[in-house]
Amino acid sequence: GAVVSQHPSRVICKSGTSVKIECRSLDFQATTMFWYRQFPKQSLMLMATSNEGSKATYEQGVEKDKFLINHASLTLSTLTVTSAHPEDSSFYICSARVGRAYTDTQYFGPGTRLTVL
């Protein structure tokens, strides 16, 4: 099946630093990738939709200057949390969509646990 990887799986950083998270589709090409944030014991909230070669589309309330998304190729999207603060601590999950029909499926990465001290 389709595999999506994320790196790193866990990161701890000091407040004010920037953190980059990579999302890769390993055995397929993904024209669209998604970034979600999940707080403890809560559901996934879509942050942005990333299309290869174009600017990401951010959901309402998500600061695009804070969460920089780059989708440089059909197999790689990156999320950079700039000037991270403790409230940015969360579980960040990416997914990649395969197919173009309405039955297309998203395959999820294993997630990245970000802790900002």
Partner 1 sequence: SQQGEEDPQALSIQEGENATMNCSYKTSINNLQWYRQNSGRGLVHLILIRSNEREKHSGRLRVTLDTSKKSSSLLITASRAADTASYFCATSGSARQLTFGSGTQLTVLP
Return residues touching partner 1 (CB under 8 A). Answer: 4, 6, 34, 41-46, 49, 91, 93, 95, 97, 102-111, 113
Q: Considering beta carbons, is residue 14 or 41 the nearer one to partner 1?
A: 41
* Minimal distance, residue 41 CB to partner 1, in Å: 8
Q: Considering beta carbons, is residue 28 or 82 the nearer one to partner 1?
A: 28
Q: Considering beta carbons, is residue 13 or 46 the nearer one to partner 1?
A: 46
Contacts of 106 (CB under 8 A, 6+ apart): 34, 95, 96, 97, 98
User: To 10 degrees, the CA torsion angle through 76, 77, 81, 86?
Assistant: -80
For residue 13, what are its two tokens? 């950083």
